[in-house]
Amino acid sequence: MNYPAFLVGAYEHPIRKADHLTVMQLHAQVAKGALEDAGLDKSQVDGYFCAGDVPGLGAASMIEYLNLRVRHVDSTECGGSAPIVHVAHAVQAIAAGRCKVALVTMAGRPRAARSAIRLRPPDLDSPEVAFEQPYRPVTQNMYALAARRHFHEFGTTSSQLAWIKVAASHHAQHNEHAMLRQVVTVDEVLDSPLVADPLHKLDCCVISDGGGAVVVAAPEIARSLRRPLIVVRGMAEAQKNSVAGCVDLTYTATALSGPQAFADAGLGPQDIQYVSLYDSFTITVLLQLEDLGFCAKGAGGPFVSGGNLISGVGSLPFNTDGGGLCNNHPANRGGMTKMIEAVRQLRGEAHPAVQVAGCRLALVNGIGGSIATRHTAATMIMERL
């Protein structure tokens, strides 16, 4: 089979609180790390991809800062799913002959800047503000709304959601850079403070600085490098809106992007050996598992219980770096680190305690926006050849 492009470089910044680095420096450092991982020089980069986490004039400012000479630029913004969308777009750009080496970066420092705990004023030009702002929506309340609806419809419980955090903590204990490395129990999750009913503090992701970058290259370049060949087998993106209030909160846009990605890859859920799932909250993971077809709609609670997501224990290992729930969630955007851990798994470079034996097929899924209103999902299926 002829593949248009390969994922040849990946790098995750080890920092979790960047007191003495700027956002631009973080982007530059992850770019350098990913290019070194690939064995490429920045002079070979002719395509650059980023989202709204880049300051200034976005891609234009970053290209100048890195002193790149590019012929293709993509600054698609859709929140946490953006880096996954960018890799898909990079594959398409390389296939179209628009570039040969694409660099995708993501970075930020909300923890050091303490910006993550301050709500930004609403954009008065946004059409939804007049309808939503009077109810004072905040992130945790909106995800709690979706969780409570799932509880009501399907009998899902807080204890079942807690198993997702438990699985993440079992993986994070082996990650020296993870913010939360202590293994927790279901009871400890339930005993943590209630943030927004039914979500507890340990149901929520961490707030961190840092970032990551990946490099996508044309086949002739990828095959010349001394790196494992990882290809994007299937990819899709989709949007779900609030539909003027007529919305079902028990599913995400992943229910649209997932089947498309599987069809593109010619694969099904039963073929996947490892999943990297966006874990802003435990409910986010549960909904994606159902939407991707790893279990039936409404069966997510029983599916995640008993350690089924723990590597070496359950049937579907997830987020073996600890994910956003325990490791990091740089710039409040988790899509990039999800791809990086999938690359580690496919290369056999994950920590030995969590490495999936013979991992050849991995799925990455990201969510950008709020699952209770408008959001974008991006699904990518990756294979090591």
Buried-exposed string 324-341: b where 16+ CB fall within 10 A, e elsewhere: bbbbbbbbbbbbbbbbbb
To 5 degrees, how large is the angle CA 162–CA 167–CA 168? 100
pLDDT for 120 equals 62
Strand partners, 11: 213
Q: What is the pLDDT of residues 256-309, one digit of tens each?
A: 999 999 999 999 999 999 999 999 999 999 999 999 999 999 999 999 999 999
pTM of the model: 0.95
User: Is the bond into 198 cis (omega within 30 degrees of 0)?
Assistant: yes
Task: For the chain, give every domain's residue range.
Answer: 6-113+210-384
Q: What is the pLDDT of residues 99-131, one digit of tens each?
A: 999 999 999 999 998 865 555 667 778 888 888
Find, among 330, 322, 342, the residue nearest to 183 by Cα: 322
Strand partners, 208: 330
* Token pair in block for residue 282: 């435990």
Q: What is the pLDDT of residues 224-239, one digit of tens each?
A: 998 899 999 999 999 9
The domain 6-113+210-384 having CATH identifier 3.40.47.10: the answer here is: yes
